[in-house]
Structure 1
Amino acid sequence: MKKNTWSGKHGPLLIAEIGGNHEGDFAYAQQLTELAIGADVDFIKYQLYTGDTLVSRQESPVRNKHFKKFELSREQYIQLAERCREAGIGFMASVWDLDFLDWIDPYLPIYKIGSGDMTAYPVLRRIAQLKKPIILSTGLSTLQEVLETVAFLQREDDIYKNPNFLSILQCTSMYPIPPSEAHLSVMQTYAAVTGLPVGYSDHTEGSEALAQSVAMGAQILEFHFTDSREGKEFRDHKVSLTQAEVLELIDRIKTIHTLNGDPVKRPLAVEGDHVVSFRRAVYPALAIPAGTAIEEKHLICLRPNHGIDAREYDALIGKVAKVDLEPHQRLEWEYFEQ
């Protein structure tokens, strides 16, 4: 595993979630996978489940039927995983059927826990036993619940105290959400109280929230992915990006990183001699005869910063001029009695 699990080709780890956008059509899942490969992301994400191991047939028969319609087979998921591997793209999944772990684990370097499973402690325990990095989405949750889940994982295995093995995504679990419901600042709260890497799982329309989250320090970006939003009824398509939009987002990320630059503050070569020409020094405001005790009325601060720096203004007050001084001439300390 690389030193920083969450470092992507373009800065943040980019996860294109096909999820259920294939709507149970394997050929369409393959098509979306090829498009996502062309989008130059770090990971392509899927959701692995069966309706009967996810939703109660009695308590929620409509949703049970919905998820059954979106199922793919074991062989189909493996084929998608192998295609990702062949293309040099990471394969990622939210595994909602724990019986799938035995055959899908060899393809998964990272596990993604969806918001709905954040409090499913038996699921978390089973995945933690695999000792692989986990990304935790936090839609639907209070801060206290997030902290409790983090603590649970860290009790299960000390490995999840290592920031290379656990990260947290801000998420609002609705499709779509208005910008006012993104609450990107929660990422900074997570970073402050947990010390873990943070990121953003997007359910807004467009890519503005994703770009803004990068500027705010997101190390992981997860976004839904589709070929087109036109004519699609399944809700996830509405919040999905296309290949062209992902490539545009990558360009924006590059610009953001360029603008962020180096955190060490110092004069830069591009500023040239401006450190002298833009800054001020102390000059005589009027003619000053030798023997004059300097008062504020005698002085003015002007550009360029030649001679006595403006920060030494107060030190000149009360000094006695040893020579005649002309207005606006360059001053040196040797012109004054010490």
Structure 2
Amino acid sequence: MAARSYGNDHVTIAGRRVGPGEPTYVIAEAGSNHNRDLATAKRLIDVAAEAGADAVKFQTYTAEGLYSRKTPTMSYLKDGGLVADQESVFEMIKRIEIPWDWHDELASHAGQVGVDFLSTPFEDAAVDLLEKLDVPAYKIASYEVNHLPLIEKCARTGKPLIISTGMASLADIERALDTANGAGATEIVLLHCAINYPPRFEDLNLRAIGTLASAFGVPIGWSDHTMGHTADVVAVTLGACVVEKHYTLSRDQEGPDHPFALEPDELAAMITAIREAEASLGTSIKRVTEAEAEMFRLGRRSLVAGRDLKAGEPLDRDAIAVKRPGYGIPVHELDAVVGRSPKRDIEDDEILTWDLFA
């Protein structure tokens, strides 16, 4: 597959420029962790805002539009006791789907507390609903990367697309991008993702962030299901410009997405770590920084008198000491000072400067 650009090098989400060189756009993924309780959903929005997230995201689907009733239940749901006895995956999804009549109130609440409101659509009707709310972007879940009709419908809205790529090959991604481009989308972010709940660190393959950037020429982010925030900081240092992370009010709650989600203080700690990582990256230029200037002058070494020196007496090596501070003759000029004669007497420990010599 020949590398080409499938979109702009930056996108704009709710007036915010997102891409290389910009602050990481952090999406707090509430998902289904609202427990079908409106107050809990609103509290999740508050937590996202308090933690410093840029956006809060829910998921808009119906069990009927998502799963066949004959779909086998995933092993992680069974092994984790996340489905009730004799409950099918269809039945589980039915009991955790978000009531669609909440969306307007949730979007309004997000606006009030200063975070962007997003929701991942999983069917055409969900896109229609979210368009009425004028969401600033559309997130395509990893599971939907081959749902080309849905990608096309989202692309035709003219909004930026954020496409997760868990389980996807480069060919899968290329088809999705060709579909999005064909429907007019040029503002696209791809999210590298490892699907498991939670995945092992050895399965994350974070260096693929660079591969995706080279292959497709669009901003790349990271959608994370690991515990903690190590992977998120690493992803940012590797160039991720969007980070999406599941969170919950408490992992002790029942539901499929609670066990691997961050709790409120952990979400805040992750965002702080991301901001610190961004600040620490700096530039590729190796130089003395402004913060180092005083210690550069006072903490490095230079040449000082190793004893009392007489005017006109040529200096031998023992007459010169290497000490702090650093604003005397540089140490690398030591050989050039040996044999020179001072113009005046010099006291022991006096800092040597060129103007002391003829």
SS across alignment from 1:91: strand
Q: Which amino acid in structure 2 is aligned with residue 45 of structure 1?
A: K
Q: How many Å apart are 1:222 and its aligned residue?
A: 0.6
Offset of 1:130 from its aligned partner? 0.5
Partner of 2:40: 31
Task: Classify 1:6/1:226 alpha carbon distance in 2 versus 1 (closer, same or farther; 3 Å).
Answer: farther
Q: Is 1:185 matched up with 2:185?
A: no
Q: Counterpart amino acid of 1:260?
A: L
Identical counterparts, % of pairs: 28
What CA distance in whole angstroms lies between the structure 1 residues aligned with 2:114 and 2:16?
A: 18
In 2, are the aligned partners of 1:14 and 1:220 still within 8 Å (CA)?
A: yes
Question: 1:289 maps to which residue?
Answer: none
Query: How much does 1:148 deviate?
Result: 2.7
- For the residue of structure 1 that corresponds to 2:213, the secondary structure is helix
Tell me which residue corresponds to 1:261: 282
The alpha-carbon distance between structure 1 residues 65 and 257, as it changes in their structure 2 partners (threshold 3 A), is same
Aligned-pair distance for 1:102?
2.4
**Which residue of structure 2 aligns with residue 46 of structure 1?**
58
Residue aligned with 2:258, SS = helix
Q: Which runs of structure 2 are paired with 1:99-138 in the superposition (5 Å)?
A: 99-107=125-133, 108-138=135-165
Change (3 A) 1:273 1:54: closer
What root-mean-square deviation, in Å, do the aligned CA atoms of Structure 1 and Structure 2 show?
4.1
- CA-CA distance at 1:109 after TM superposition: 0.6
Matched residue, 1:2: 15
Aligned residues: 322
Q: Map Cα deviations across residues 26-65 of structure 1 (whole Å, 9 max, x no partner).
A: xx34324324423331111111111111112345592222
Q: Distance in 2 between matches of 1:230 and 1:139?
A: 27
Higher relative contact order (CA 8 A, sep 6+): 2
8 A contact 1:30–1:80 mirrored in 2: no
* Range moving further from structure 2, 216-225 or 140-149: 140-149
| Aligned counterparts, 1:298-337, within 5 A | none
Runs of 4 or more, structure 1, over 6 Å off, are 273-281, 303-312
* Structure 1 position 98, deviation (Å): 0.8
TM-score (norm 2): 0.71
CA contact (8 A) 1:226 1:242 kept: yes
> For residues 102 and 298 of structure 2, what CA distance do their matches in structure 1 show?
68
Partner of 1:219: 241
Report the CA distance shift for 1:175/1:29 in structure 2 as closer, same or farther (over 3 A).
Answer: farther
The TM-score normalised by the length of structure 1 is 0.75
CA contact (8 A) 1:182 1:204 kept: no
- Contact (CA 8 Å) 1:206, 1:239: kept in 2 or not? no
CA contact (8 A) 2:111 2:117 kept: yes
Q: Residue 97 of structure 1 aligns with which residue? A: 123
Does the C-alpha gap of structure 1 residues 58 and 245 become closer, same or farther in structure 2, counting only changes over 3 Å?
closer
1:111 shift after superposition: 0.3
- In 1, the alpha carbon distance for the partners of 2:139 and 2:237 equals 23
Q: Is the 8 A contact 2:55 2:118 kept in 1?
A: yes
Answering whether residue 100 of structure 2 is matched by residue 78 of structure 1, we say no
Query: 1:278 and 1:16, CA in 2 relative to 1: closer, same or farther beyond 3 A?
Result: closer
- Give the secondary-structure state (helix, strand or coil) at the position aligned to 1:270: helix
- My pick for the range that moved more, 165-174 or 29-38, is 29-38
1:93 deviates by: 0.9
Alignment equivalent of 1:148, drawn from 164, 175, 183: 175
5+ residue gaps in structure 2? 1-13, 74-87, 303-323, 337-351
Q: Do the aligned partners of 1:16 and 1:45 also contact (CA within 8 Å) in 2? A: yes
Q: Tell me what 2:317 maps to.
A: none
